[in-house]
Structure 1
Amino acid sequence: MKRREFLTNTAATSALIGLGGLGLNSCSSIGRKHITILHTNDVHSHIDPFPNSHSLYANLGGIARRATLVESIRNENPNTLLFDAGDIFQGTPYFNFYGGELEFKLMSKLNYDAATIGNHDFDNGVDGLLAQVPHASFELLSANYDFSNTVMDGFVKPFKIYQVDGVKIGVYGLGIALDGLVTKRLYKETLYLNPFEIASDMEHKLKEEEQCDLVICLSHLGYDYENPERPSDTQLAQRTHYTNLIIGGHTHTFLDKPDIRTNKNGDSVLINQVGAFGINLGRIDFYFDQDKNASVNGVSISV
């Protein structure tokens, strides 16, 4: 396994993230409680490794290797959560043949905790997505897709709260505008709600009402765009108050290190995205002291 240290001993490592003293630090031994967040995005039905002859990703990826890596990390730290930031479907014949069943079954075998919904997850329509829901043991989270008038109503939650070793972690999901990316006949009456407004509602609920120690967004908005008005993870980070970590997808962005942006409170927000096709696994480690102040490390692991 190749490891790329995302956070090095630079000025960025001293940035504060959110409230309560959460900050980035390169020391992995700080704190009494250790929470590990693992994540993927835009796997696009890549079950097998890339072949040795591939020009870019030779012999990388594959869900079997990811399963081995995840198991190893969980053995190292049982207080581990595993998330996906969308576009689970579409990209190989596995999806064309099985319609997403295999992807959801294998993610369930890996004990994913939650995933948000990407635009390609509608490629067999809302009916096709619903058909695969029984194969998912993990939560589907999306706060800004309103499925009320579709068959998916009741099968997607806006957020979920996890209690891990006494640390309360709130996770919500956001999706990209479907118009122009997905044919209307596929997403039907699914309503797209303003992600900035919904994120504000979600983080205030999770932080102020639910008293979460850590707030995470699973985003399929995309990392960044030339148009500053187009919703993106970088824009989201700057418009939030309490979101500590944005796990991104959609733009297939291979970040050399997690990006750090300043939110409305003047605190920093961590943004991470690990490319596509399951060739990398993102890992973020939080170390909480007895007062719930935390330091953070990030690495990207080539699978």
Structure 2
Amino acid sequence: MLRYVLRRLPSAAVVLLLSTVPVFGILRLAPGDPAASLAGADAGPDAIAALRHQMGLDRPLVNQYLSWLGDALHGDFATSFTTRAPVSELVLRGLGNTGTLALGALLLAVVLALPLGTLAALARGGAARTLLAGLNVLMLCVPPYVTGVLLVLLFSVGLRLLPPGGYVSVFDDPVAGLQFLLLPSLCLALPAAAVLARFLTAALQRVFHEEHYTAARLRGLSGRRLLLRHGLPNAVGPLVTVLGIQIGNLLGGAVIVESVFAWPGIGQAMVTAASARDYPVMQALLLLAVTVFITLQLLSDVIHALIDPRVREAS
């Protein structure tokens, strides 16, 4: 197993290193000048040029990139253009809140996907299968901001059961924290649950046609025992890799969901930094997102290899 992990690490490191080029470069291609934005509308060319020099934006792009990359490798992400606070502090402050939101969404996605995917695999056709397929498409296709507004209208305005937005730490007040967490987590979880349910359905249908499953059924195992002992355990392996990808998608979806529900995480910080053209904050957040995505993908592959030895042998 250790050899499998060591074989995967170099490729992950290369992908992460290569990703720093678009993370740095794409922001520079966007219109607008951070110095002009920060200086204000009444600032003259000399004041803007002096501010660009102070911010290091007048140096060649290659020098800026190499300097940023070298500092990032040492854990130094400079200071924010707008707040002048260390970027690492801003990122860490929002990372915990986004992590809480993503974890809640992941748990809800799994809880929703298991029964939906299993029922769709067991459905032989007719109205039940059509209804489940339509529900899956609806969960997958409705944009998160639309889902968020609908959830607020239903549970906050109509039923008055949950707060429409805001944040309370679950560590300070568990009950209130969970109430504030539920709606944004559900909004973020629905598309992920749809994807997981679809992959689980396909994996179960493949298992149903395998010889070991047929042999177990011929031995007289009941439907529930057959599903729990021979169906779901053999369908979970491929699902782990998909789950790792969905965690990365959850972090991406958090940008919209946090804005809808006023959740103070890295998604909301990214929107604020993008509107202010705050390069250091944006670079740190994008690099963090790429790092988390690559790490989760690597971990999901390792877990899949632990569950299914054939994956290790094939690699």
Name the TM-score, length of structure 2 as normaliser. Answer: 0.25
User: Which is helix-richer, 1 or 2?
Assistant: 2
Larger radius of gyration: 2
Name the TM-score, length of structure 1 as normaliser. Answer: 0.25
